[in-house]
Amino acid sequence: MGKAAAVGTAVVVCAAVGVAVVVARRRRRREAELQGSAEADRKRRAAAVIEEVERSLSTPTALLRSIADAMVSEMERGLRGDIHSQLKMLISYVDNLPTGDEHGLYYALDLGGTNFRVLRVQLGGREKRVVKQQYEEVSIPPHLMVGSSMELFDFIAAALAKFVDTEAEDFHLPEGRQRELGFTFSFPVNQISISSGTLIKWTKGFSVNGTVGADVVSELSKAMERQGLDMKVTALVNDTVGTLAGGRYMDNDVVAAVILGTGTNAAYVEHANAIPKWTGLLPKSGNMVINTEWGSFKSDKLPLSEYDKAMDFESLNPGEQIYEKMISGMYLGEIVRRILLKLAHDASLFGDVVPSKLEQPFVLRTPDMSAMHHDSSHDLKILGAKLKDIVGVADTSLEVRYITRHICDLVAERGARLAAAGIYSILKKIGRDKVPSNGSKMPRTVIALDGGLYEHYKKFSSCVETTLTDLLGEEASSSVVAKLANDGSGIGAALLAASHSQYADVD
C-alpha cells in the first residue's frame, strides 16, 4: 500500500513537472512571439516615419526648376525696388572688379563675428600677382560686444595700428601716399556708396550702443584718427562681395560668388541697365555687383517639412531666412536631430526611453552630421561613437546606425539640391543657363564658392555640383565651373581697395 502510494505520488510529481515544463515553454514561445511582434511593430513604425521624411524632403528636378523660376522672379522684383520682394538685391556700389593689373600695398579689415582679421597684401600686377600677404586674427573681448561704439572701434583701430607697425621693408608704400583699406563688414548695412554705409542692426551676439544708424566707415575712420593712423577706407563690402572680388582676381571668368557655411548668401555681376532701381549715372564698366541676400528667400514651392516648420517656429527669427534654414550649416544638423527625435518617440529607435540629450536643440551640429554621413566603415563605428557622444546611447545596433546615416543623407541631399537651384537661378538671370540659340559658343562661366559647409562636407558639395550639372544639361554644364575660393573675402576686400583706390587714375 505504501509502495503503491509512493509510485502514485511520483507519477503525479512527474506529471506536474511535465505540465510545468510545457507551460514554461508555451510562455517563452508566447513571450518570443510578443517580442517578435513588438519588434516588427517598431520596425513598421520606423519605416512609416522614414517614408514620410523621404516624401517631405524630396526635391525632384522639376521642383528645383520651379524654385529657380520663383527665385528669378524675386530677384527681378528686388532689382525694381519692390519692398515686398523676398530678396533685397542690395546694390554694392562695386562696379570695378579686380583685373589682375593692381599693384601696391593694401590693407583689409574683416569684421563679421567674435574675431576680426587684419590683413596686408603686396600686389605685383599681372605678372607677379600677390607678391606677399600677412594677416593676424584678433578676439574681441565680450564686454566690447555690448559696450559703446567708440570703445569697439577704438579697440579695432588700435589692433590695426599695431599691425601696421609690424610692416616689414618688403612691403612698399609709394612716397607721399596714404595707406588704403578694404573693410569687410558682415552685418546688415544700408550702403550709400562704395565707401560708406549705415548699420541697420547688430547680429551675431553684438549689441553695441551708438552704432545703429551711423556710418560704420566714419566710425572706423574717426577711431583710426584717434590712434594717429593715417589710413583711408576706400571700399566697404560684405563677405560675399569680397569673395566675388577674390574669385575674379584669380579667374577672370568668375561671374558670381556663393557662401555655403554657417549661413548662406550669393553675389553676382549684373548689367547696370538691368537694375531699374539704380538712379545714378551708369558706371563706366556697365556692370554692378549685386548682393542678393538670398538667405531670406521663401516660396510655397520650397519643400518645407514638419521639422523645418517647428524649427523655424522656435527660432529667434520665425518666418525669416527660410531658404538659409534649409541649406546652411547652422541648421542641417538640427534638422537631423529633430527627425531622430521623432523616430525615438514614435518608433523607439534608441530603446524604450527617449535619450534626454536628444531633446536638446542644436546638440547635433552639422560637423557631427558630416562625420556620421561620411562613415564608410563596415560597422559604421565612427557613427556609433558620435551617437554615444551626442545622444548618450552607449550601444546602438547596426540597423540604428544605418537609419541615422540615411537621415543624414536625406537632409544633406535636400540642402545641396536647393543650393544648386539657387545657383541655377543666378545663371538664368544673367543668361548663362543654356547654350546661345545663335549657335555661338557658350562663354566659360565660373562660380566662386566659399564656406566651411561647401569646403569640408564633401558629400554636400559633390551633390551641389552634380545637381547643377543636371539642371543645366550636359552641353551648357560643360562651360560652367564651380570653384572653391577659400578665404576669398579677406583678400577680396584688399583687392577692392585697390580697384577703387583714390590713386587709380594716377596709376
- 212-255: per-residue pLDDT in tens? 999 999 999 999 999 999 999 999 999 899 999 999 998 999 99
Q: Please list the residue range(s) of the chain that carry CATH number 3.30.420.40.
A: 93-237
Residue 86: which residues within 8 A CB-CB, separation 6 or more?
Answer: 74, 77, 78, 296, 297, 298, 299
CATH architecture of 93-237: 2-Layer Sandwich (3.30)
Q: Please list the residue range(s) of the chain that carry CATH number 3.40.367.20.
A: 61-90+252-485
**Helix 61-80 to helix 398-429 angle, to the nearest 10 degrees?**
40
Q: How far apart are CA 448 and CA 484, in angstroms?
A: 6
What pLDDT, in 10s, does the model give residues 461-494? Answer: 999 999 999 999 999 999 999 999 876 777 899 9
Q: How far apart are CA 328 and CA 157, in angstroms?
A: 32
What pLDDT, in 10s, does the model give residues 285-298? Answer: 899 999 999 999 99
What average pLDDT does the segment 366-379 reach?
A: 96
Q: What pLDDT is stored for residue 13 in this prediction?
A: 47
Per the listing, cell 523607439 goes with: 348
**pLDDT beyond 60 at 17:** no
Q: Which CATH number fits domain 61-90+252-485: 3.90.230.10, 3.30.70.330, 3.40.50.11740, 3.40.367.20?
A: 3.40.367.20
Strand order in the sheet with 480-484: 90-91, 287-291, 264-271, 254-260, 445-450, 480-484
- 27 pLDDT band, cuts 50/70/90, is low
Q: What pLDDT is stored for residue 285 in this prediction?
A: 87
Pairing of strands 130-139, 115-124: antiparallel
In the predicted model, what is the mean pLDDT of the chain? 89
User: What percentage of the chain exceeds 70 in pLDDT?
Assistant: 92
**pLDDT beyond 70 at 6:** no
In 3D, which of 189, 11, 165 has the Cα closest to residue 93?
Answer: 189
Q: Give the catalytic positions in this structure.
A: 117, 186, 239
- Strand partners for 125: none
Neighbouring C-alpha atoms within 13 Å toward the C-beta of 187: 27
Q: What pLDDT is stored for residue 202 in this prediction?
A: 86
Tell me, rounded to whole angstroms, the distance of Cα 483 from its chain centroid.
Answer: 16
Residue 505, Cβ neighbours under 10 Å: how many? 6
What pLDDT, in 10s, does the model give residues 112-123? Answer: 878 899 999 998
In 3D, which of 75, 227, 229 has the Cα closest to residue 167?
Answer: 229
Q: What pLDDT is stored for residue 129 in this prediction?
A: 79
